[in-house]
Amino acid sequence: MSPLVYAVEPQLGVAEFCRVLLESGLGATRPTRDETRIAAMLSGADLVVTARLPDGSLVGVARCITDFAWSCYLAELAVSASAQGLGVGRGLLSEVRRQLGPRVSLTLASMPDAVGFYERVGMERVADAFWFRRSE
């Protein structure tokens, strides 16, 4: 795989984002058929970091909600299946952390199949997490 280009992309398009969600396996857990909701998810994000091939092809996205001062929630870390295992996820996390700086914590809720990845990159498990499930 060619060297990747990581960048902050606040105007990432809905179609590209949905494509990577579907290619990553996250499509089944995200509303990829609801363009209005996906657009709202993107516009409500405070930080969107992408990984692209030199030809411009999108292969990874990290979408975050943050105050840039204390905490950040990583809502999606999606890497196209064709690029999984090549360091794209690790690179996206690295760029997100660089953008946030050392004073901001990074939290996420992992899909069961991705737990091992987050452990391998050095993220610590948090035992006391709570949530209200979406009803739609």
Q: State the fold for domain 5-120.
A: Aminopeptidase (3.40.630)
pTM over 0.95: no
DSSP 89-131: HHHHHHHHHHHH-TTSEEEE---GGGHHHHHHTTPPP-S----
pLDDT tens for the 136 residues of the chain, in order:
568 999 999 999 999 999 999 999 998 899 999 999 999 999 999 999 999 999 999 999 999 999 999 999 999 999 999 999 899 999 999 999 999 999 999 999 888 788 888 889 888 988 888 888 888 7
Beta bridge partners of 64: 47, 74
Element (H or E) spanning 26, and its range?
Answer: none
Residues in a beta bridge with 129: none
Q: Return the pLDDT at 2.
A: 60
